[in-house]
Amino acid sequence: MPPRLKLTDQAASLSIGAALKARRKRMDLTLTELAEKSGLSAPFISQVERGQAAPSIVSLMGLAEALGVDINYFVSVPKPNQIVRRGDEPEYIDVGLPARYTRLSGKHEERKLEALLIEVPPGATSPTASREGEGFWYVLDGEIEVTLGKETFSLRSGDSAHFDQRHPYSMRNTGTVDTRMLWVGTPALF
C-alpha cells in the first residue's frame, strides 16, 4: 500500500501535477510521448498529473528536461510582474485588425484564460472565427453587433455574451463611436 501524502505534500503534488499537465498539453504531447522523452512510465506521469503521486527530484528533473523547462517551473510562484498588470504600463497586441487590443491578464506562461480590453472603431468588422474554449464579451461603452452561428445580437453598454467558441462568431461596430469591450476567454490567445 503506497504511503499517504501529508496535506502539505498533497497540495504541492497537486500544483506540480497541474503545471505538468498544462505544459504537456501546451506541447501537444500524449502521456506515452512524455513517458518516452522523460524515461518515466505513462501511468506514473498520469498519477502525478492527478495529484495521486509526488515525483522525486530525479523524476522532476527528467520531466523538466523532456518538457524544455527548468525544474523551477514546477515549484516557483509566479513573480509579481507576471501576475499584476499595471494600468500605466499597458501591453497592446497588434493582430492586424483596426481594433485595438490591450492585454489585461498576466504574463505567466501556463495561464488558462486571456482577458483583453478591445476598442473597436465605428464600422469595423472582425473576421469570422471559431476555436476551442469559451468566450465572454462585456460591452463597456458603445454598441456592437455579434453573430454567433446563425444568430445575430445587438449588444450595448452593460450587455454581455458568454458562448462556446467552437461555433463561428464575429462582431461589427454598428455605432458611430468607438466600442470598448472586455473579452475573457479560454484558452489564452497570445
Q: What CATH number has the domain bearing residue 101?
A: 2.60.120.10
Beta bridge partners of 141: 180
Q: pLDDT tens string for the chain (190 positions)? A: 334 333 333 334 447 888 899 889 888 999 999 999 999 999 999 999 988 998 988 999 999 999 998 888 887 666 656 677 788 888 898 888 889 999 998 877 667 788 999 999 999 999 999 988 899 999 999 999 999 999 999 999 999 999 999 999 999 999 999 999 999 998 777 6
CB-based contacts of 79, cutoff 8 Å, min separation 6: none
Residue tagged 498576466 (cell numbers): 106
pLDDT at 183: 94
Rounded distance between C-alpha atoms, residue 130 and residue 149, angstroms: 10
Specify whether 171 is located in the same domain as 100: yes
Rounded distance between C-alpha atoms, residue 178 and residue 174, angstroms: 10
Specify whether 111 is located in the same domain as 177: yes
Return the CATH number at 38: 1.10.260.40
Using only C-alpha atoms, the chain has a radius of gyration, in whole angstroms, of: 21
Specify whether 179 is located in the same domain as 92: yes
pTM: 0.61
Rounded distance between C-alpha atoms, residue 185 and residue 162, angstroms: 9
Specify whether 116 is located in the same domain as 161: yes
Under a CB-based contact definition with an 8 Å cutoff, are residues 51 and 5 in contact?
no
Domain end point (choices 75, 100, 127): 75
Does residue 27 fall inside a structural domain? yes
Rounded distance between C-alpha atoms, residue 112 and residue 66, angstroms: 21
**Total number of domains in the chain:** 2
Supply the DSSP string of 125-152, one letter for each residue: BPPPB--SSEEEEEEEESEEEEEETTEE
Specify whether 50 is located in the same domain as 125: no
Structural domain boundaries enclosing 55: 7-75
Ramachandran region of residue 79, left (φ > 0), alpha (ψ -120 to 50) or beta?
beta
Domain end point (choices 20, 52, 75): 75
Does residue 91 fall inside a structural domain? yes
Does residue 2 fall inside a structural domain? no
Domain end point (choices 75, 100, 135): 75
